């Protein structure tokens, strides 16, 4: 019983730290931050959506984290980016599972791969899923304001437009998407270290 209580306390502490990290209010100036901490916080907050349910097995998260230095950024804004991209990846996986049997999905498990690396004076983050993917028409519009691929009442068309604005305008970075129908999608973010 004491062991169970200790595990519960550790989980509460993890969630509390993640929420504090995620909800960090940005200041007028960029501050030096660990991007892996922001990614891990977003994963922890979305953990309930990753768990197995009656329709599908657990969505697996693979982290291929490189050795990143802390960078100057608005971490609160980047946390919004991480949360949005991860939530969209989960939605894409759920969409790809529609009409498939639990056992069929288990043979080709749903997964999200997060990779980070440095190249020169830049940090690169990649969030890739093995969901439904998108065709060239959708890819061309994906960052447009009010454009959404979700059904009425679910998507706002603001999420990826805001992601693009945060990366490009607030951080002077780059964002691109690589995807083909049936092959999933990969969002690649580039951020200058300073």
Domains and CATH numbers, the chain: 2-192 (3.30.565.10)
Is pLDDT at 4 greater than 90 in this prediction?
no
Tell me if 191 sits within 8 A of 122, measured CB to CB. Answer: yes
Residue 131's pLDDT is what? 92
Tell me the per-residue pLDDT of 164-190, one tens digit each, with 9 for 90 and over: 999 999 999 999 999 999 899 999 999
CA distance 163 to 140: 15
Beta strands in the chain (DSSP E): 31-33, 60-64, 71-73, 111-119, 122-129, 174-179, 185-192
41-69 residue pLDDT tens: 899 889 999 999 988 999 999 999 999 99
For residue 63, the cross-strand partners are 114
Q: What is the mean pLDDT of residues 71-95?
A: 92
Mean pLDDT value across residues 89-99: 91
């Amino acid at each position: 019983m004491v062991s169970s209580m200790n595990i519960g306390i550790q989980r509460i502490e993890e969630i509390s730290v993640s929420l504090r990290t995620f909800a960090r209010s940005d200041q007028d100036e960029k501050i030096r931050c660990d991007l892996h901490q922001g990614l891990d916080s977003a994963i922890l907050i979305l953990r309930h959506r990753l768990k197995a349910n009656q329709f599908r097995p657990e969505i697996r998260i693979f982290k291929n984290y490189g050795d990143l230095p802390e960078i100057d950024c608005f971490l609160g804004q980047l946390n919004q980016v991480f949360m949005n991209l991860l939530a969209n990846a989960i939605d894409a996986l759920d969409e790809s599972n529609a009409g498939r049997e639990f056992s069929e999905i288990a043979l080709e498990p749903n997964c999200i791969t997060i990779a980070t690396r440095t190249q020169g004076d830049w940090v690169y983050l990649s969030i890739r899923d093995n969901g439904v993917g998108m065709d060239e028409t959708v890819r061309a519009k994906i960052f447009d304001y009010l454009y959404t691929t979700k059904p009425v009442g679910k998507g706002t068309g603001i999420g990826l437009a805001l992601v693009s604005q945060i990366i490009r305008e607030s951080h002077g970075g780059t964002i691109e998407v690589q995807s083909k129908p049936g092959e999933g999608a990969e969002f690649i973010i580039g951020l200058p270290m300073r």
